[in-house]
Amino acid sequence: MKNRIALLAAVALAGMVAGCRSTSGPQAVESGSDTVDATLPTQLPWTAIPSHYAIQVTPHADQLTFDGTVAIDLKVIKPTSTLVLNAANLTIGSATVTPAGGKAAAAKISTDADAQTATFDFGQTLQPGDYRLDIRYAGKINQQANGLFALDYTNVDGKAARALFTQFEASDARRFVPSWDEPDYKARFDLTARIPADQMAVGNMPQASLKDVGNGLKEVTFQTTPVMSSYLLFFAAGDFDRITKQAGDREVGVVMSRGNGDKAGYALDAEAQILPYYNEYFGTPYPLPKLDNVAGPGQSQFFGAMENWGAIFTFERSLLLDPDITSESRKQDIFGTEAHEMAHMWFGDLVTMAWWDDLWLNEGFASWMANKTTQHFHPDWGGDVDQVADREQAMALDSFVTTHPVVQHVRTVEQANQAFDDITYAKGQSVISMLEGFVGADVWRQGIRAYMAKFKYKNTRTADLWAAVEGAGAKNLTQVARDFTMQPGIPLITVGPSRCVNGRTQATITQTQFSNDRRQQAMASPLNWHVPVRAIAGNGSASLTITQGRTQQIEAPGCGVLLINPGQTGYFRTLYAPDQSEALRRAMPGLAAVDQYGLISDAFALSTAGFQPYSRALDLLATLPANAHSKLIELAAGRWVGLFDTLEGNAAAQAAIRDRASRLFWPRLQQLGFAPRNNDTPLDALLRSALIEDLGYLGEPHVVAEGQRLFGAWQRDPKAIPGPLKVSWLGVIARNANPQTWAAIHRIAAATHGTVERSTYYALLGSAKDEALARQALALSLTREPGNTVSADIISEVSHEHPQLALDFVLSHLPQIEPLIDLSAASRYVAELADDSDDATLIPKLESYAKAHLKPEDARPVQHAIGRIRWKAGNKPRIQSETIAWLKAHPAIS
């Protein structure tokens, strides 16, 4: 699953910072038997193992209901009189169990809504052996992305349309079919659906048969899937088009609402390009006959895309390239999302974690593989720098006491949903990068190939991966790997003064722990890691030391400025002695962009948390050359925007930042121009958007004036703002909106049919700085006008500028807000409205919300938000005064 991404980059930045029926296949039984393990926190009694499901569904899209039957081939492994399956919000009509060669027995059925189970009591003991369980049931079609769900949109003919899709991860297949809905119960699936004769149905596998069943309906049956987990099953039906291409001996396709095929070519080409690369990398070829990526109109508060095997689901905005609205950053995201989801066809689908504790085996790997693939096919996109940015995203969460280890304890459905966070994705990715660097790319790939070959169609735990990579020749991997995946937090490497001895640079390093909210305790009694520390001195080659205990000597060949963690693949922070820090500052212009990025990021984190003065970070930022790599310019501009927000209420200091940013970045934007150019590199296009957004956010006069000019022209001619810059320019207008401009955006939003464009405009209405307009946006979100999946985004946008207003609004309208959010996101939506704020008055509100609405074991996102707000509020006066003092001492050069 790919995490959802913020719709409006500027606003998110300003906050700063998802035939042939075979009976029990040998693999299915083998897979199940392998994982009979008392330590697995299964929520079902281990009395039976399913091997095959034959599911038949008839959706009634107009009524938002469906009817279903399922025949499950299973093996009873312990004598039992009951079978317990997962089922949620299903009405079960009847059930019978039939032993192989015997007579059917009817069940007494009871359901438990809290446990999400159905119990079938047969009133007699079922002895170990083979059985078939037949169940007749009915369910609901949801209007957010859980289980079988409907997305409504306006079609190319301007008419209202409804399409159906499924979303089952983590635990929602049980809303579609009574099942053993846990990842280790792998089975084969046959799916048959009755749908309107003029619609297209999509499943994991190609269609096996089709028949007309009268009354305007047809019955579609898909081929039997390989052995897989229930959360990977997929079904969609609607008024679709499908475009295809051959990638070797496999067919890849993109499915989208009718008439939008011209927007899918970019994603289809990416799919065809990536599949052979993965076949080669993983060593086990993609096993299904086809691979589709299915576009859905709308959005989710939980995810952007989901790796159903053979039928990836992706929301349109992350799959279709629409020249009228898709920015360069979104275009790159389409490729990255495709690469991420396709990596899951192996990591997740072919080899699956035994339980959600090891979810990082899916998500960390898919994230890492997406970055690797992007760097391979698009070396000019700056993926190496992005990887440092991803590490920073992980560290932002990992530096609070509310963090968790990469491998974590998941016991409830809510906890499984919450596991899809920056630790699982970004820390997982960063740790893999570090380990790949540690053992070498070739050994690492051999290990992955061995792991795929050994565990295909099975379930694994983290230790299985370490064993496979060590088996491929990696030495001492497990110790390092365990330290970084079983323990939370970030090592801090403090570097003492360096000296040159016999042509080698020596220094003492001390290992403690970096923390934002418990700095003293973390320094006094830190966790302990075996950290691979690379060091480089001047032009010498890098040395590698694995830390053992607190203090040790390091040495690097050559004499010169000592840089720790060159290339930035190490997952730790580095605190230099003042002299070394100053020497690095002077050496900054000559360093690689990734190292500049890492140094600045470390410096700001250390200064913000109080490990060193704030001036040290600002000094480093000020040393960045004007012609630096565009990702560094983006980073610097974003830092100034963050400081601008921190100085809210101090007009003079904010004006000083605006003036400084204008002097620093306006010349670069002038060079790039306000509109796309034919000779733009991808990085030029990204930087242009970022500078328009950041300078516009700061109220830079040239940018604001151009924004107003373009807005006037756009109201007369929708093509007046180039598509790739539309979100950037309209973001500037919407943030500074007055009642007239707000009303104009609203009018255009209501008249727009394209779902991505339309939802973008509605979200923009939530980004106004003007509080009265923000209130108007909140009121609009409770009407039917924006659409079922758009309203929650409007409220999120309001929260960036007005967290208190958004939180109060949501807390006072909970019953109306709940239907606007997917069930999977419910326990963190409220926390996310507040967690970027530095307003301590939000804390008691969050506390009472958690007490009234969340089970204590499910409250981690709220606790994290509280800890973060408290920390930011506590730090603010110090950062404000140190920044003001620095600005006075360093007037911008004219």
Cα–Cα distances (Å) from 449 to 281, 343, 655, in that order, read 8, 13, 56
- Residues that contact Zn ion, how many (by CB under 5 A): 3
- Residues numbered 418 to 447 that lie near Zn ion (CB under 5 A) are none
Q: Which helix H or strand E contains 131, and what residues bound it?
A: strand 129-140
Comparing CB distances to Zn ion, the nearer of 169 and 693 is: 169
Q: Name which of residues 391 to 410 contact Zn ion (CB under 5 A).
A: none
Asked if 306 touches Zn ion (CB under 5 A), the answer is: no
- Closest CB to Zn ion among 231 and 466? 231
Q: Does 205 bind Zn ion (CB under 5 A)?
A: no
The footprint of Zn ion on residues 462-491 (CB under 5 A) is none
Phi, psi of 354 (to 5 degrees): -70, -35
Closest distance to Zn ion from the beta carbon of 355 (Å) = 17
Q: What is the DSSP string of 293-345?
A: EEEESS--SSEEEE--TTEEEEEGGGT---TTT--HHHHHHHHHHHHHHHHHT
Q: Which is nearer to Zn ion, 9 or 366 (CB)?
A: 366
Does residue 366 touch Zn ion according to CB under 5 A? Answer: yes
Please state, in angstroms and rounded to a whole number, the distance separating the CA atoms of residues 261 and 50: 39
Residue 546: both structure tokens together: 């694995």
- Measured N-to-C along each axis, helices 651-672 and 701-716 cross at an angle, to the nearest 10 degrees, of 60
Least distance to Zn ion from the beta carbon of 93, Å? 36
Using the minimum distance from each CB to Zn ion, give the nearer residue, 14 or 369: 369
Shortest distance in whole angstroms from residue 310 CB to Zn ion:
16
State the minimum distance, in angstroms, from the CB of residue 61 to Zn ion. Answer: 28
Judge whether 470 counts as a catalytic residue.
no
Stretches 83-91, 355-363, 519-527, 610-618: which one binds Zn ion (CB under 5 A)?
355-363
Cβ 759 vs Cβ 790: under 8 Å: yes
- Among 870, 873, 880, residue whose Cα is nearest residue 646: 880
Report CA-CA distances (Å) from 192 to 52, 125, 708: 14, 32, 55
Q: How far is CA 734 from the centre of its chain?
A: 26
Only one of the segments 21-29, 358-366, 593-601, 834-842 lies at the binding site for Zn ion (rule: CB under 5 A); that segment is: 358-366
Q: What is the distance between the alpha carbons of residues 177 and 180, in angstroms, rounded to a whole number?
A: 9
**DSSP secondary structure, 154-202, as one string:** E-TTS-EEEEEEEE-TTTTGGGTS-B--STT--BEEEEEEEEETTSEEE
Task: Report the distance separating Cα 460 and Cα 259, nearest Å.
Answer: 42
Judged by CB under 5 A, does residue 345 bind Zn ion? Answer: no
Pick the stretch among 361-369, 416-424, 457-465, 736-744 that binds Zn ion (CB under 5 A): 361-369
Distance CA 524, CA 521 (A): 5
**Does the protein bind Zn ion through residue 342 (CB under 5 A)?**
no
Q: Minimum Å distance from CB 366 to Zn ion? A: 4
CB of 363 to Zn ion, least distance (A): 5
Residue number with CB closer to Zn ion (319 or 725): 319
- Output the 3-class SS for 324-338: CCCCHHHHHHHHHHH
135 binds Zn ion (CB under 5 A): no
Span near Zn ion by CB under 5 A; candidates 147-155, 366-374, 609-617, 874-882: 366-374
Catalytic residue among 341, 414, 693, 757: 341
CB of 330 to Zn ion, least distance (A): 18
Q: 171 or 199: whose CB is closer to Zn ion?
A: 171
What is the closest distance, in whole angstroms, from the C-beta atom of residue 303 to Zn ion in the complex? 8
If the CB atoms of residues 349 and 619 are measured against Zn ion, the closer one turns out to be 349
Partners of 224 in the beta sheet? none
DSSP, collapsed to helix, strand or coil, labels residue 221 as strand
* Smallest separation, CB 715 to Zn ion (Å): 40
Q: How far is the CB of 728 from Zn ion (least distance, A)?
A: 28
Cα radius of gyration (the chain)? 28
- Point out which span in 278-286, 365-373, 445-453, 623-631 binds Zn ion (CB under 5 A): 365-373
Q: Which stretch binds Zn ion (CB under 5 A): 364-372, 399-407, 427-435, 559-567?
A: 364-372
Whether the ω angle into residue 744 lies within 30 degrees of 0, i.e. cis, is no
Token pair recorded at residue 608 = 């913000």
Considering the complex, state which of residue 363 and residue 602 has its C-beta at the smaller distance from Zn ion. 363
- H or E, element range at 655: helix 651-672
Of 363 and 822, nearer to Zn ion (C-beta) is: 363
Q: Is 592 exposed, middle or buried (0-12, 13-18, 19+ CB in 10 A)?
A: middle
CA-to-CA distance for 858 and 453, rounded, in angstroms? 37
User: What is the pairing mode between strands 573-576 and 490-495?
Assistant: parallel
Nearer to Zn ion, 304 or 567 (CB): 304
Binders of Zn ion in range 1-30 (CB under 5 A): 1
**Stretches 142-150, 197-205, 360-368, 800-808: which one binds Zn ion (CB under 5 A)?**
360-368
Supply the DSSP string of 755-773, one letter for each residue: HHHHHHHHHHGGG-SSHHH
Provide the binding-site residues for Zn ion, judged by CB under 5 A.
1, 363, 366
Catalytic residue numbers, as ranges: 341
